[in-house]
């Protein structure tokens, strides 16, 4: 890849996560700037869902591009040992820092002397900042915010291209509970941002990956506070999670979510999900969720 841009002063980078927004951004920018050469980067943690790889492969095929795969210096298991089995969390995102951000910065070291433009797919209908690398030669660009691109626009871009949404967005329909649920973001299959219903989704759709996530848990260290995954999959707990999810979705339809007030009214909602809702008002990093 480096040899292709040796004579260029500018480097245009799009990080591809395997999610809808970064894929739509790649399509949007290739159409908007057909003469511009982009470097497409995917930071592979080795803990991705199979749907993520399939989606990136499809994106490459449809756009006629090559996504450069980069791996972190150490695996998640190695990093977990270094952190004394302390699992990452919304307030301790060491996995994002070590596996995504540091890998990105390592790649950027190859292009010292270049002016790097790092394109981020944060939409106009989102209120967060995302990653801004601490290097003087890197400028963060947010085309969707600049051009007023919203979630509905992203869906349109993906559908018009024929790529569509990632397969993990396809909802599971549970007729017994009269609910539909799905994975809401890209990233590792054990992502700590997952709500309880998404852990149920993983258990039902990807039991092998769920078992791997269970193996990372140790005494006192679980993905969900006060509920190890071995407890989550007990029938009575799955029943509670699905019923709670149904009530939450019904309330949201009656009174749209505004500043977290609806979630706060849901006394039956788990502390884990309430904490995630509160945290997501913050402007967290976009490296592995777009």
Q: What is the residue extent of each domain of the chain?
A: 2-167, 169-279
Looking at residue 259, its pLDDT comes to 47
Q: Average per-residue pLDDT in the chain? A: 87
d(CA 41, CA 71): 11
Structure tokens at 170: 């396809």
CATH 3.40.50.300 assigned to domain 2-167? The reply is no
Who wins on pLDDT, 184 or 157? 157
> Mean pLDDT lowest for which of 75-89, 160-174, 220-234, 244-258?
244-258
Which two structure tokens, joined as six digits, stand for 254? 């009656």
In angstroms, the CA 68 to CA 154 distance is 23
**Distance of alpha carbon 37 from alpha carbon 198, whole angstroms:** 37
Four-point Cα dihedral 114, 63, 130, 128, nearest 10: 140
Phi and psi dihedrals of 157, rounded to 5?
A: -60, -45
Largest CA distance in the chain: 63
Conformation bin of residue 148: beta by default, left when phi > 0, alpha when psi is -120 to 50:
left
* Spatial distance between the Cα atoms of 285 and 290, rounded to a whole number of angstroms: 10
Residue range 24-56, pLDDT digits in tens:
999 999 999 999 999 999 999 999 999 999 999
d(CA 251, CA 225): 25
Q: Which residue has the higher pLDDT, 190 or 278?
A: 190
Q: Give the whole-angstrom CA distance, residue 171 versus residue 251.
A: 19
Answer with the residue of higher pLDDT: 256 or 238. Answer: 238
Residue 27 is predicted with a pLDDT of 98
169: tokens are 């967005």
Is residue 97's pLDDT more than 80?
Answer: yes
Residue pointed to by tokens 């994106």:
59
In 3-state terms, what secondary structure has residue 17?
coil
Question: What pLDDT is attached to residue 268?
Answer: 53
Burial (CB < 10 A; 0-12, 13-18, 19+), residue 70, is middle
């Amino acid at each position: 890849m480096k040899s292709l841009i040796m004579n260029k002063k500018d480097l245009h980078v799009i990080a591809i996560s395997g999610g809808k927004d970064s894929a739509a951004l790649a399509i949007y920018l290739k159409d908007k700037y057909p003469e511009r050469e982009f470097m497409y980067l995917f930071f592979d943690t080795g803990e991705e869902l199979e749907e993520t790889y399939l989606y990136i492969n499809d994106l490459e095929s449809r756009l006629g591009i090559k996504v450069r795969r980069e791996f972190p210096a150490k695996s998640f298991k190695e990093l977990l040992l270094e952190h004394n089995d302390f699992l990452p969390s919304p307030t301790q995102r060491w996995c994002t820092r070590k596996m995504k951000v540091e890998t990105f910065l390592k790649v950027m070291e190859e292009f010292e002397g270049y002016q790097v433009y790092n394109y981020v797919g944060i939409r106009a209908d989102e209120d967060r900042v995302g990653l801004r690398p601490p290097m003087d030669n890197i400028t963060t660009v947010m085309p969707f915010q600049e051009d007023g691109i919203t979630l509905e626009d992203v869906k349109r871009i993906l559908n018009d291209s024929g790529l569509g949404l990632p397969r993990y967005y396809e909802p599971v329909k549970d007729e017994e509970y009269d609910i539909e649920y799905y994975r809401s973001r890209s990233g590792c299959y054990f992502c700590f941002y997952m709500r309880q219903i998404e852990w149920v989704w993983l258990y039902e759709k990807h039991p092998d990956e769920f078992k791997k996530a269970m193996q990372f848990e140790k005494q006192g260290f679980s993905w969900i506070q006060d509920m190890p995954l071995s407890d989550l999959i007990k029938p009575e707990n799955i029943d509670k999670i699905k019923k709670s999810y149904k009530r939450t979705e019904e309330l949201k339809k009656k009174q749209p979510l505004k500043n977290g007030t609806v979630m706060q009214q849901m006394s039956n909602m788990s502390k884990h999900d309430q904490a995630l809702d509160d945290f997501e008002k913050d402007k967290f990093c976009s490296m592995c969720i777009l």
